[in-house]
C-alpha cells in the first residue's frame, strides 16, 4: 500500500509522517524504516525505527532511491513499513520523476507486502490523476 502526504511547505507533512511512524512502531508486525534527507528526525521518532539519511549515502536520483529501497528489502525481508520524507529534496524537484517513483513504489510495495508513505512538497491541486488516488 502506498500513501502520499502532499502539501506546500509548512503544511504539516512531516508532523503527520512522524505521528504515522510512531504509531506504526507500536502496531507493525515487522521492521520500520524512515528515509530522510539530512538528519532532522533523530529525536522525533522512536529509537526502534531504522533511520537512513539519503544525503549521507549520496542518493540524488530516482534510480539511486529505487536501488536503496531494493537493497534495504534484500537485506531485511522483515521490513513492513517504509517512510520517505521530502521526496523532492532527495531526487530533485521533478514532478514526472516523482510520479514515476510513486508508481514504481506501488508495485514494489504490493510485490513485497510493504506499506510505503512518502511526503512530497507540492500543491495537491496540481497532482495528476494517477497520484491523486494515493493522497
Counting the structural domains of the chain, the total is: 1
Spatial strand order in the sheet of 31-36: 2-7, 115-121, 79-84, 31-36, 50-53
Compute the average pLDDT of residues 51-80: 94
pLDDT digits (tens, 9 = 90+) for 77-127: 999 999 999 999 998 888 888 999 999 999 999 999 999 999 999 999 888
Range of the domain at 110: 2-132
- 3-class DSSP state of 39: coil
CA angle (124 as vertex; 119, 125 as ends), nearest 5? 170
| CATH code for the domain in which residue 107 is found | 3.40.50.300
Nearest to 28 by CA among 95, 104, 113: 113
Compute the average pLDDT of residues 27-50: 91
User: What's the pTM value of the predicted model, to 2 decimals?
Assistant: 0.93
Amino acid at each position: 500500500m502506498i500513501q502520499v502526504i502532499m502539501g506546500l511547505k509548512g503544511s504539516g507533512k512531516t508532523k503527520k509522517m512522524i505521528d504515522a511512524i510512531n504509531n506504526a512502531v507500536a502496531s507493525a508486525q515487522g521492521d520500520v524504516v524512515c528515509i530522510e534527507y539530512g538528519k532532522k528526525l533523530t529525536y522525533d521518532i522512536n529509537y526502534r525505527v531504522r533511520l537512513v539519511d539519503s544525503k549521507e549515502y549520496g542518493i540524488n536520483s530516482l534510480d539511486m532511491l529505487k536501488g536503496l529501497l531494493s537493497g534495504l528489502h534484500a537485506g531485511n525481508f522483515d521490513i513492513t513499513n517504509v517512510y520517505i520524507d521530502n521526496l523532492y529534496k532527495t531526487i530533485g524537484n521533478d514532478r514526472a520523476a516523482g510520479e514515476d517513483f510513486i508508481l514504481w513504489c506501488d508495485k514494489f510495495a504490493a510485490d513485497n507486502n510493504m506499506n510505503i508513505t512518502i511526503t512530497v512538497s507540492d500543491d495537491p491541486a496540481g497532482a495528476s490523476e494517477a497520484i491523486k488516488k494515493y493522497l
